[in-house]
Structure 1
Amino acid sequence: MKKLTMGSLALAMTLGLVGCEDDPFENAPSVSASASAPAASSPQGEQEERSGGLGPVEGTELPPGHPPLGEQAGQGADMIGGVPAPQVPRMSPQEYGTVGPIRWQTPQEWQAQVPTNAMRQAQYQIPGEAGQEPAELVVFYFGPGGGGGVEANLKRWAGQFNGESPATFGEREVNGVKVHTVDASGTYDAGMAMAGQGPRDAQRMLGAIAETSQGLFFFRMVGPKALIDAKADGFESFVSSFEHGES
Structure 2
Amino acid sequence: MSLRLSTQTLVASALLFLAAGCKDRDVVVYRTAKEGPAPSATATAQKMPPPSTDKLPDGHPPIDGSAAPVATAPNGSAMGALPGSAVAQGNALKWTAPAHWQAKAAGSVRKGSYAIPGENGAAGDLSITAFPGDTGGLHANINRWRGQVGLAPASNAEIDQSVEHLDVNGLHVELVEMVGPSGIRLLGAIVPHQQETWFFKLTGPDALIAGEKAAFRAFVQTVQVR
TM range (shorter): 0.5 to 0.7
Overall identity of the aligned pairs, in %: 30
Q: Distance in 1 between matches of 2:191 and 2:101?
A: 20
| Secondary structure of 2:114 counterpart | strand
Task: Give the drift of 1:146.
Answer: 6.3
Which position in structure 1 is the counterpart of 2:110? Answer: 120
Partner SS, residue 238 of structure 1: helix
Q: Is the 8 A contact 1:141 1:147 kept in 2?
A: no
- 1:235 is aligned to 216
Q: Which runs of 4+ in 1 moved over 4 A?
A: none
SS of 1:181's equivalent in the other structure is strand
The amino acid that maps onto 1:110 is: W
* Inter-partner Cα distance in structure 1 for 2:142 and 2:183: 20
Corresponding residue for residue 183 of structure 2: 202
Alignment match of 1:154 (pick from 138, 142, 167): 142
**Aligned-residue CA RMSD in angstroms?**
3.2
The answer for unaligned runs of 5 or more in structure 2 is: 1-59, 62-67, 152-157
Structure 1 residue aligned with 2:121: 132
Greater share of helix residues, 1 or 2?
A: 2
Q: What is the letter of the counterpart of residue 158 of structure 1?
A: R
Match of 2:46 in 1: none
- State the Cα distance separating 1:140 from its structure 2 match: 1.1
Of 26, 33, 54, 2:80 maps to 26
SS at match of 1:109: coil
Question: Could you say which structure has the larger radius of gyration?
Answer: 2
Aligned counterpart, 2:50: none
TM-score (normalizing by structure 2): 0.57
Separation of aligned partners in 2, 1:123 and 1:169? 24
Taking the aligned partners of 2:215 and 2:207, their CA distance within structure 1 comes to: 14
Matched, 1:211 2:192: yes
Deviation, structure 1 residue 141: 1.3
Give the TM-score normalised by structure 1: 0.52
Letter of the aligned partner of 1:176 in structure 2? G
- Higher RCO, Cα 8 Å, sep 6+: 1
Matched, 1:186 2:176: no
- Counterpart CA distance in 2 for 1:156 and 1:146 is 13
**How far off its partner does 1:115 sit?**
2.9
Alignment partner, residue 106 of structure 1: 97
User: What is the letter of the counterpart of residue 141 of structure 2?
Assistant: N
Residues 33-89 of structure 1 deviation map (CA, whole Å, 9 limit, x = unaligned): xxxxxxxxxxxxxxxxxxxxxxxxxxxxxxxxxx23xxxxx5xxxxxxxxxxx6x24
